[in-house]
Amino acid sequence: MLEPILVLVAMIALGFIARHFSLLGEGAEKELSGFVYYVSMPCLILVKLATTSLSGQHLSLILLNGAAIAVSIIAVCALYYAGIVKGKFASALLLCSFFGNVVFMGFPAAQAYFGEPAIADAAVIAFAYNFIIFTVGLLLLGIMSGKGRHEFSFRKLLGNTVLYSCVIGALVSISGIALPSILSDTLSLVGATTVPLALFAMGAFLYGKKLGQKMAQVAALFLAKMAFFPLVMLCLAFLFGMRGYVLQLSFLEALMPVAVTNFVIAREFSLDAALVAEATVATTLASLPLLFLFGPISGFLA
């Protein structure tokens, strides 16, 4: 199991090296990430779901992950309305407390530990994360930020190709209709670029990033995402009586770092984008050793 994880780290390192030697220009990771998020990843999700028979296991994945996300949101809202956290930090806490990098790093990690078929299951989990953050999540962000731009949630939902691919893939799977071979082959070919490009872009993103002056706030976001949220996932799994693969995969995705997408959302809402970026860097660096430790940990979740 060590070799696949080393490959993931090596791909991230290649992106970092490419930026260091100016093989990629500044901001190139944004273009790579945009292609992955809006093009190759939806292709991968659609074809994986369309060729997978949806089962009760997928409903269990949605239930467990959705419940964990709900608990995280409720906890942050309780802190906000109690006046314990305020302003932009409250919004950053809501954004970073659960919305992790379940695609850019989550898909490769799922493939490394559980094989390529696990990508379809990881896509189901990604659907739960994306649907909640781009609906209820953005609505709450609008309230906490004081912007009152609730329509932003609906606008972002309509433009999110990840959600479209999840819904279309699920409908095709349920219908039992096979995709035309030319379409399936095209989607598969484009989708195959997702994992390497996502890791490469992550490495390029990390280049030159440093932790600044807001260490206390970064630490709070770090603990919320990398400690509290995975713990909530474990507690709910035991409460629901879920063990084995469903818990293992869900816990692995819960350990993913703060999503790079959060930085884009933070800028859109005029939140503390710099703080979100620092949290992304800190949690990403911490997630790398966790990938190696997940193997021994997963045995206790079986």
What pLDDT digit, counting tens, does each position of 197-231 carry? 878 887 888 788 777 778 899 999 999 999 999 99
Q: Which residue's structure tokens are 């990033």?
A: 209
Q: Which residue's structure tokens are 């089962």?
A: 55
Residues of the chain predicted below pLDDT 70? 1-5, 146-159, 264, 267-269
Q: Confirm if 194 and 36 have CB atoms less than 8 A apart.
A: yes
pLDDT in the model for residue 296: 81
For residue 78 the two structure tokens come to 């309780």
Cα–Cα distance measured from residue 167 to residue 117, given in angstroms and rounded to the nearest whole number? 19
Cα–Cα distance measured from residue 147 to residue 139, given in angstroms and rounded to the nearest whole number? 10
Q: Would you give the DSSP letter of residue 258?
A: B
Report CA torsion sign: 180, 185, 186, 187. positive
Among the residues of the chain, which ranges form H helices? 2-20, 28-35, 41-50, 56-81, 87-96, 106-114, 118-132, 138-145, 151-158, 161-175, 181-191, 194-206, 215-223, 229-240, 245-254, 261-268, 273-298
Backbone angles phi, psi at 40, to 5 degrees: -70, -40
Q: Confirm if 92 and 271 have CB atoms less than 8 A apart.
A: yes
Backbone angles phi, psi at 258, to 5 degrees: -55, 135
Cα–Cα distance measured from residue 293 to residue 302, given in angstroms and rounded to the nearest whole number? 15
pLDDT in the model for residue 151: 46
The C-alpha torsion from 56 through 60 and 63 to 69, rounded to 10°, is -140
| Fold designation for 2-22+31-301 | Na+/H+ antiporter like fold (1.20.1530)
What pTM was computed for the model? 0.79
Radius of gyration, CA atoms only, the chain:
18
pLDDT per residue as tens digits for the range 14-62:
988 999 998 888 878 778 878 887 888 889 888 888 887 777 788 899 9
